[in-house]
Amino acid sequence: MLFIPLPFVVALLLLILFVVVFRRDEEGQPNRPFLVLILLSALQSVLSGLRWGYGMQVVGVIAPVIAATVPPLAYAGVSRLVRTSWRPLVGRLGLHAVPAVLILLLVEFWREAIDVALVLIFVGYALAILLLMRPGADALRLAPFEGAVPAYRAIIFAAAALCLSAAVDTFVFFDFTWAHGEHALTVISVGNLAALVILGTAAAAASGSRAPAETAEAVARPETSEDKETIATVDALMETRKLYRDANLNLDRLARKAGIPARQISAAINRAMDKNVSQYVNDYRIGEACRLLSATEKSVTEVMFDVGFQTKSNFNREFRRVTDMTPLAWRQKRAEGGGSSAIDKL
């Protein structure tokens, strides 16, 4: 009977995921580092299957070099959602190539140090990603507001996957040192593949960049007079120009429209309203959605698109956050004469 190692199945799933993400991103500007990351995760899984399933030890020379490129790609993909320009990242491309070059040199001259080096690379980049995300989801200045929570959480999961991969490599290193690799195959089959799946899925979710959300760092109260002026300016844009209807609206674009630095808008809304900018914008969207559901015969899907959402999952999640109900339940309750105190406060 033909033996098909689990890593090959994982690689196939990752390739399917890549096709789905590639087709989804065709209409907009794709996040290329995340796309390459999914492909490399699939390749890494294939190499793992060849080595541990069929005993092809020669792939052990290639696999560590490929593995060393994964964390920099994850960091580059996150940077695409955080930075307003590619220039800071382009200037560091040489620096981000160092891990792969280092591992290539270790393969040639000091193989015993490869595992330790990989652990340090994975943990180092995981910490760097978490540092980028320190301000919360509002750090994702270039991600549209609609899907901020999934994007932010996906990035955190990606950082966790890098740490999991480092933990697996550490265990395998000690297993070969003390137990001659007795448990290595089992750990790699479960732990390392789980890390690849999490990393690939997280990259796919974050590449959609359909929102920056989640609580940004709590900042001391009370709000300042500058905060009030900032919020008044942004409120005016929302109410008169209906900016929230723009499905591609993000913090950077909002800042340009308002003529106010993005960091100032984020800080003002967090201090004054105890929410992040994504939630603030989505509150406006849900407010209009409720009015349309109440005053028109439009379908829920039509309303969803009219107010700036593009996916039902995000629309339903934000609708529940604001009203504690689904759109259909809210419309039915409204038709029966029930009110909604939550939406009246928007």
Helix 193-207, helix 59-82: angle, nearest 10? 30
CATH number of residue 269's parent domain: 1.10.10.60
Q: Of 179, 207, 235, which residue is a domain's last?
A: 207
219 part of a folded domain: no
Structure tokens at 7: 């890593």
* 306: number of Cβ within 10 Å: 15
Model confidence band, residue 288 (pLDDT cutoffs 50, 70, 90) = very high
Same domain, 170 and 253: no
In a domain, residue 235? The reply is yes
Token digits of residue 298: 């439009």
Handedness of CA 29, 32, 34, 35 (dihedral sign): positive
Are 306 and 175 within one domain? no
- 181 and 290 assigned to the same domain: no
Give 28's Cβ-side CA count (13 Å radius).
Answer: 14
List, for residues 201-257, the tens digit of each pLDDT value.
666 666 554 433 333 333 344 457 888 889 999 999 898 889 889 988 888 888 888
Same domain, 155 and 245: no
What pLDDT shows up at residue 11? 78
207, 240, 268 - which closes a domain? 207
- For the ranges 5-19, 62-76, 255-269, the lowest mean pLDDT is seen at 5-19
Q: Are residues 194 and 262 in the same domain?
A: no
- Residues of the chain with pLDDT > 70, as a percent, come to 72
Domain boundary among 207, 237, 272: 207
Residue 217 lies inside a defined structural domain of this protein: no
49 found inside a domain: yes
Residue 153 domain flag: yes
pTM above 0.75, yes or no: no
Dihedral angle over CA of 302, 308, 312, 313, nearest 10? -170
How far apart CA 331 and CA 55 sit, in angstroms, is: 61
- Residue 20's alpha-carbon distances to 14, 16, 147, 248, 312, in angstroms, are 10, 6, 18, 20, 18
3-state secondary structure the chain: CCCCCHHHHHHHHHHHHHHHHHHHCCCCCCCHHHHHHHHHHHHHHHHHHHHHHHCCCCHHHHHHHHHHHHHHHHHHHHHHHHCCCCHHHHCCHHHHCHHHHHHHHHHHHCHHHHHHHHHHHHHHHHHHHHHHCCCCHHHCCCCCHHHHHHHHHHHHHHHHHHHHHHHHHHHHHHHHHHHCCCCHHHHHHHHHHHHHHHHHHHHHHHHCCCCCCCCCCCCCCCCCHHHHHHHHHHHHHHHHHCHHHCCCCCHHHHHHHHCCCHHHHHHHHHHHHCCCHHHHHHHHHHHHHHHHHHHCCCCHHHHHHHCCCCCHHHHHHHHHHHHCCCHHHHHHHHHCCCCCHHHHCC
Q: Are residues 108 and 239 in the same domain?
A: no
On whether residue 212 sits in a domain, the answer given is no
The verdict on residue 214 lying in a domain is: no
Q: 198 with 263, same domain? A: no
Q: Which two tokens stand for residue 111?
A: 């193989």
Domain check: are 134 and 179 in the same one?
yes
- Residues 10 and 130 placed together within one structural domain of the fold: yes
The pLDDT mean for the chain works out to 77
Residue 35 has pLDDT above 60, yes or no: yes
Task: Please state the domain count of the chain.
Answer: 2
166 and 304, same domain (yes or no)? no
Structure tokens at 312: 């039902």
pLDDT band at 18 (very low <50, low <70, confident <90, very high): confident
pLDDT at 289: 93
Asked if pLDDT for residue 174 goes beyond 80, the answer is no
Phi, psi of 209 (to 5 degrees): 40, 50
Q: 21 vs 313, which has greater pLDDT?
A: 313
pLDDT at residue number 227: 83
| Within a domain: 220 | no
Q: Report the alpha-carbon distance of residue 239 to residue 4 in Å, rounded.
A: 59
Query: Does residue 324 share a domain with residue 255?
Result: yes
Q: Note down the domain range covering 257.
A: 225-344
267 with 319, same domain: the answer is: yes
